[in-house]
Protein backbone atom coordinates (compact mmCIF):
# COMPACT_ATOMS: atom_id res chain seq x y z
CA UNK A 1 0.00 0.00 0.00
CA UNK A 2 2.04 2.94 -1.24
CA UNK A 3 0.10 6.12 -0.58
CA UNK A 4 1.09 9.65 0.34
CA UNK A 5 -0.40 10.57 3.70
CA UNK A 6 -0.66 13.91 5.50
CA UNK A 7 -1.27 13.56 9.24
CA UNK A 8 -1.86 16.66 11.33
CA UNK A 9 -0.62 16.55 14.90
CA UNK A 10 1.58 13.59 13.98
CA UNK A 11 4.43 14.00 16.44
CA UNK A 12 2.92 12.24 19.46
CA UNK A 13 0.21 10.00 20.83
CA UNK A 14 -2.46 8.83 18.35
CA UNK A 15 -0.99 10.78 15.44
CA UNK A 16 2.43 9.17 15.84
CA UNK A 17 0.91 5.68 16.12
CA UNK A 18 -1.07 6.19 12.91
CA UNK A 19 2.06 7.46 11.19
CA UNK A 20 4.12 4.44 12.29
CA UNK A 21 1.58 1.86 11.17
CA UNK A 22 0.94 3.47 7.79
CA UNK A 23 4.68 3.86 7.24
CA UNK A 24 5.12 0.16 8.00
CA UNK A 25 2.50 -0.50 5.31
CA UNK A 26 4.66 1.30 2.76
CA UNK A 27 3.14 4.79 2.82
CA UNK A 28 5.03 8.06 2.55
CA UNK A 29 4.20 10.30 5.50
CA UNK A 30 4.08 14.09 5.68
CA UNK A 31 4.29 14.75 9.41
CA UNK A 32 2.66 17.96 10.53
CA UNK A 33 3.38 19.36 13.97
CA UNK A 34 2.85 22.64 15.78
CA UNK A 35 5.12 22.81 18.84
CA UNK A 36 6.40 19.22 19.32
CA UNK A 37 9.54 19.81 17.27
CA UNK A 38 11.84 17.27 18.91
CA UNK A 39 9.35 14.40 18.76
CA UNK A 40 8.50 15.18 15.13
CA UNK A 41 12.16 15.28 14.09
CA UNK A 42 12.85 11.96 15.82
CA UNK A 43 9.89 10.31 14.13
CA UNK A 44 10.86 11.66 10.72
CA UNK A 45 14.44 10.46 11.15
CA UNK A 46 13.19 7.04 12.26
CA UNK A 47 11.10 6.68 9.11
CA UNK A 48 13.78 7.90 6.73
CA UNK A 49 16.35 5.59 8.28
CA UNK A 50 14.08 2.65 7.52
CA UNK A 51 13.16 3.91 4.03
CA UNK A 52 14.97 6.95 2.60
CA UNK A 53 12.81 9.90 1.50
CA UNK A 54 9.66 8.32 2.91
CA UNK A 55 8.89 11.05 5.46
CA UNK A 56 8.90 14.83 5.55
CA UNK A 57 8.26 17.41 8.25
CA UNK A 58 6.08 20.50 8.16
CA UNK A 59 5.58 22.88 11.08
CA UNK A 60 2.41 24.96 11.06
CA UNK A 61 -0.02 26.67 13.38
CA UNK A 62 -3.24 25.53 11.72
CA UNK A 63 -5.06 28.60 13.03
CA UNK A 64 -2.79 30.75 10.87
CA UNK A 65 -4.20 31.02 7.34
CA UNK A 66 -0.81 31.55 5.73
CA UNK A 67 0.75 28.62 7.57
CA UNK A 68 -2.15 26.38 6.57
CA UNK A 69 -1.68 27.42 2.93
CA UNK A 70 2.00 26.43 3.11
CA UNK A 71 1.04 23.04 4.53
CA UNK A 72 -1.38 22.54 1.65
CA UNK A 73 1.34 23.43 -0.84
CA UNK A 74 3.75 20.98 0.79
CA UNK A 75 1.15 18.20 0.63
CA UNK A 76 0.51 18.86 -3.06
CA UNK A 77 4.19 18.81 -3.94
CA UNK A 78 5.45 15.95 -1.74
CA UNK A 79 5.89 12.75 -3.75
CA UNK A 80 3.55 14.02 -6.45
CA UNK A 81 0.42 14.68 -4.38
CA UNK A 82 -1.55 13.54 -1.36
CA UNK A 83 -3.77 10.44 -1.25
CA UNK A 84 -4.87 10.55 2.38
CA UNK A 85 -5.58 13.41 4.77
CA UNK A 86 -5.89 12.54 8.45
CA UNK A 87 -7.25 15.44 10.51
CA UNK A 88 -5.88 14.45 13.89
CA UNK A 89 -4.54 17.69 15.44
CA UNK A 90 -6.68 18.75 18.37
CA UNK A 91 -6.85 20.97 21.43
CA UNK A 92 -8.47 19.54 24.56
CA UNK A 93 -9.04 21.24 27.90
CA UNK A 94 -12.00 22.07 30.17
CA UNK A 95 -14.19 25.13 29.59
CA UNK A 96 -16.61 25.59 32.51
CA UNK A 97 -19.67 27.38 31.16
CA UNK A 98 -19.49 30.34 33.53
CA UNK A 99 -15.83 30.99 32.75
CA UNK A 100 -15.40 30.16 29.05
CA UNK A 101 -13.55 32.87 27.16
CA UNK A 102 -13.83 33.89 23.53
CA UNK A 103 -10.17 32.94 23.08
CA UNK A 104 -10.90 29.41 24.30
CA UNK A 105 -13.86 29.19 21.94
CA UNK A 106 -11.76 30.33 18.99
CA UNK A 107 -8.92 27.95 19.87
CA UNK A 108 -11.05 24.83 20.38
CA UNK A 109 -13.33 25.46 17.41
CA UNK A 110 -10.30 26.46 15.35
CA UNK A 111 -8.14 23.41 15.92
CA UNK A 112 -10.93 20.83 16.06
CA UNK A 113 -13.21 22.12 13.28
CA UNK A 114 -12.08 25.19 11.37
CA UNK A 115 -8.63 23.86 10.47
CA UNK A 116 -9.93 20.45 9.29
CA UNK A 117 -12.59 22.21 7.20
CA UNK A 118 -10.23 24.52 5.36
CA UNK A 119 -7.46 21.95 5.05
CA UNK A 120 -9.89 19.45 3.55
CA UNK A 121 -11.40 21.92 1.10
CA UNK A 122 -7.97 23.15 0.03
CA UNK A 123 -6.78 19.61 -0.71
CA UNK A 124 -10.06 18.36 -2.21
CA UNK A 125 -8.99 18.79 -5.84
CA UNK A 126 -5.72 16.95 -5.29
CA UNK A 127 -7.42 14.17 -3.33
CA UNK A 128 -10.11 13.81 -6.00
CA UNK A 129 -7.50 13.46 -8.74
CA UNK A 130 -5.99 10.55 -6.81
CA UNK A 131 -9.32 9.07 -5.59
CA UNK A 132 -8.14 9.64 -2.06
CA UNK A 133 -9.77 9.77 1.34
CA UNK A 134 -10.16 11.99 4.39
CA UNK A 135 -10.22 10.61 7.93
CA UNK A 136 -11.29 12.86 10.80
CA UNK A 137 -10.39 11.93 14.37
CA UNK A 138 -13.47 12.88 16.39
CA UNK A 139 -14.51 11.72 19.89
CA UNK A 140 -17.23 9.65 21.56
CA UNK A 141 -18.16 12.84 23.43
CA UNK A 142 -19.27 14.43 20.16
CA UNK A 143 -22.55 12.53 20.50
CA UNK A 144 -23.46 13.17 24.15
CA UNK A 145 -21.08 15.88 25.31
CA UNK A 146 -18.46 15.78 28.07
CA UNK A 147 -19.44 17.77 31.18
CA UNK A 148 -17.05 20.64 31.80
CA UNK A 149 -15.85 20.51 28.20
CA UNK A 150 -18.74 22.10 26.33
CA UNK A 151 -16.71 23.90 23.67
CA UNK A 152 -14.57 20.84 22.88
CA UNK A 153 -17.68 18.66 22.62
CA UNK A 154 -19.38 21.18 20.33
CA UNK A 155 -16.29 21.32 18.11
CA UNK A 156 -16.07 17.54 17.77
CA UNK A 157 -19.81 17.33 17.08
CA UNK A 158 -19.22 19.82 14.30
CA UNK A 159 -16.45 17.62 12.92
CA UNK A 160 -18.85 14.66 12.85
CA UNK A 161 -21.34 16.79 10.90
CA UNK A 162 -18.54 17.89 8.58
CA UNK A 163 -17.61 14.24 7.96
CA UNK A 164 -21.11 13.41 6.80
CA UNK A 165 -21.71 16.47 4.62
CA UNK A 166 -18.25 16.22 3.04
CA UNK A 167 -18.92 12.55 2.26
CA UNK A 168 -21.90 13.76 0.21
CA UNK A 169 -20.25 16.83 -1.30
CA UNK A 170 -17.01 15.11 -2.32
CA UNK A 171 -18.45 11.79 -3.54
CA UNK A 172 -17.74 9.77 -5.55
CA UNK A 173 -14.12 10.87 -5.94
CA UNK A 174 -13.22 11.14 -2.23
CA UNK A 175 -14.26 8.96 0.69
CA UNK A 176 -14.72 10.79 4.00
CA UNK A 177 -14.98 8.97 7.33
CA UNK A 178 -14.31 9.56 11.01
CA UNK A 179 -12.98 7.59 13.97
CA UNK A 180 -14.31 8.27 17.48
CA UNK A 181 -11.85 7.12 20.16
CA UNK A 182 -12.98 6.31 23.66
CA UNK A 183 -10.56 5.81 26.56
CA UNK A 184 -7.39 5.39 24.53
CA UNK A 185 -4.87 7.65 26.22
CA UNK A 186 -5.32 9.62 29.40
CA UNK A 187 -5.17 13.40 28.88
CA UNK A 188 -1.68 14.90 29.16
CA UNK A 189 -2.97 16.61 32.32
CA UNK A 190 -3.31 13.37 34.26
CA UNK A 191 -6.59 12.30 35.76
CA UNK A 192 -6.64 11.10 39.34
CA UNK A 193 -6.55 7.35 40.00
CA UNK A 194 -10.18 7.54 41.11
CA UNK A 195 -11.22 9.27 37.87
CA UNK A 196 -9.37 6.68 35.78
CA UNK A 197 -10.96 3.80 37.70
CA UNK A 198 -14.42 5.33 37.27
CA UNK A 199 -13.94 5.51 33.50
CA UNK A 200 -12.59 1.96 33.17
CA UNK A 201 -15.54 0.60 35.17
CA UNK A 202 -17.77 1.91 32.37
CA UNK A 203 -15.80 0.20 29.58
CA UNK A 204 -17.17 -3.19 28.52
CA UNK A 205 -13.70 -4.58 27.81
CA UNK A 206 -12.56 -3.33 31.25
CA UNK A 207 -9.35 -1.70 30.08
CA UNK A 208 -7.96 1.39 28.46
CA UNK A 209 -7.31 1.13 24.74
CA UNK A 210 -4.04 1.78 22.94
CA UNK A 211 -3.15 4.31 20.23
CA UNK A 212 -2.51 1.32 17.98
CA UNK A 213 -6.23 0.50 18.16
CA UNK A 214 -6.97 3.80 16.43
CA UNK A 215 -4.11 3.28 13.98
CA UNK A 216 -5.56 -0.08 12.93
CA UNK A 217 -8.94 1.54 12.27
CA UNK A 218 -7.18 4.20 10.20
CA UNK A 219 -5.37 1.51 8.23
CA UNK A 220 -8.67 -0.19 7.46
CA UNK A 221 -10.25 3.03 6.20
CA UNK A 222 -7.22 3.77 4.05
CA UNK A 223 -6.55 0.29 2.73
CA UNK A 224 -9.69 -1.86 2.76
CA UNK A 225 -12.74 0.41 2.92
CA UNK A 226 -13.31 1.25 -0.74
CA UNK A 227 -17.10 1.09 -0.28
CA UNK A 228 -17.28 2.99 3.02
CA UNK A 229 -17.96 6.71 3.29
CA UNK A 230 -19.78 9.06 5.65
CA UNK A 231 -19.31 6.74 8.63
CA UNK A 232 -18.13 7.30 12.20
CA UNK A 233 -16.23 4.30 13.56
CA UNK A 234 -16.37 4.11 17.35
CA UNK A 235 -13.27 2.55 18.91
CA UNK A 236 -14.00 2.64 22.64
CA UNK A 237 -13.96 -0.91 24.05
CA UNK A 238 -17.71 -0.65 24.50
CA UNK A 239 -17.67 2.43 26.72
CA UNK A 240 -20.66 3.99 25.00
CA UNK A 241 -22.72 0.93 25.97
CA UNK A 242 -22.59 2.18 29.56
CA UNK A 243 -22.31 5.91 28.96
Q: How far apart are CA 104 and CA 139, in angstroms?
A: 19
Annotated catalytic residue 152 = yes
Task: Using CB atoms within 10 Å of the CB of residue 226, give its burial: 0 to 12 exposed, 13 to 18 middle, 19+ buried.
Answer: exposed
| Alpha-carbon dihedral sign for residues 229, 232, 236, 239 | negative
Spatial contact of 22 and 88, defined as CB atoms under 8 Å apart: no
Three-state SS at 15: helix
Element (H, E) at 161: helix 150-169
Choice among 152, 220, 227, 243 that is catalytic: 152
| Residues identified as active-site | 152
Amino acid sequence: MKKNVLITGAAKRIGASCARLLHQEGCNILLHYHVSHQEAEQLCAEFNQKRPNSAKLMQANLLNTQALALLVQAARLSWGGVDVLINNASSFYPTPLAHTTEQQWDDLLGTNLKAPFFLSTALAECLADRHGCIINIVDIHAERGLPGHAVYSIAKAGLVAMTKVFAKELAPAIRVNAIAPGAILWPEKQLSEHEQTDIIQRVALARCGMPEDIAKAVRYLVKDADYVTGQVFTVDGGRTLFY
